[in-house]
Amino acid sequence: MDPSRILARAGFLAIALSTALVIAALAVLPFLSSAFVGFEQSRTGAAALTGYSPTELRTVTDAILADLVVGPPDFDVEVGGRAVLTEPERSHMRDVRSVFTGFFLVAAAGFLVLIAAFAAASRRGRSRRDAWPGVRAGALALAIGMVAAGAVALVAFDIAFEVFHRLFFASGTYLFDPATSRLVQLFPDVFWSETAIAVGGVIVVLAAGVAWLAGRRLRAGAPGPVSAGGKAVGHAEPQPSSPVGERGPAR
């Protein structure tokens, strides 16, 4: 195979994958906010499950989120002088932070790939032809994949949840007793099922929007239909202007 075609395909795949990663990362960010987590905890009865007052619940949750997003990953918040999380729970949260960190680093690398791809294409004057097809393909693939994953999760969320954890965490490090585990009581199963649905919905909407934008940019840059004479249809041939005052042939 022609090496130039191999490079072109590799570039297409890199742009598509980078697009999907960046969209997914942007979709996840709002759900790491204290506002969303507090709202979802109120829906899932975290205060009743933990026995914390609203103030204590907010303090504990904000501390855990801060350790997760900003660090350091101590997860050692206390209530009444007692640690909220056990050591196995803190260890799991450190694993969660490592997964998040790796994901966002890869997404950041994908963003740099997109910048480099568009910059290189623009220097050649071919940004629409070289870059936008990969963006559109990546966005469409992500949207379709999320719809398929959502359909599976709706009918078998527990299985999907287990498969996800087995992919990213060591066996036995993420299972806790809901009756005694503060981590599970703070973020019960229904919290995660509703959050997963919301994240998936945002990803689908963003991906569909990016795919639509990329398709529009491609259509805007496509050449018009060509006539039998080799000229683009819809573009009038320039006519030489007549000198001022010139008259046509006498009749």
pLDDT digits (tens, 9 = 90+) for 96-124: 999 999 999 999 999 999 999 988 877 76
Domain layout of the chain by residue ranges: 9-221
Q: Which two tokens stand for residue 5?
A: 């075609």
What mean pLDDT comes out for the span 187-201?
92
Confidence of residue 221 (pLDDT cuts 50, 70, 90): low
* Alpha-carbon gap, residue 118 to 123, rounded angstroms: 9
Taking alpha carbons only, the member of 159, 163, 183, 180 closest to residue 92 is: 183
Provide the Cα torsion 62, 174, 39, 20; round to 10°.
Answer: 100
Residues 22, 114: contact at Cβ < 8 Å?
yes
* Chain segment 51-110, per-residue pLDDT in tens: 999 999 999 999 999 999 998 999 999 999 999 999 999 999 999 999 999 999 999 999
Confidence of residue 125 (pLDDT cuts 50, 70, 90): low
User: Structure pTM?
Assistant: 0.82
b/e map 72-108, b = 16+ CB within 10 Å: ebebebebeeeebbeeebbbbbbbbbeeeeeeeebbe
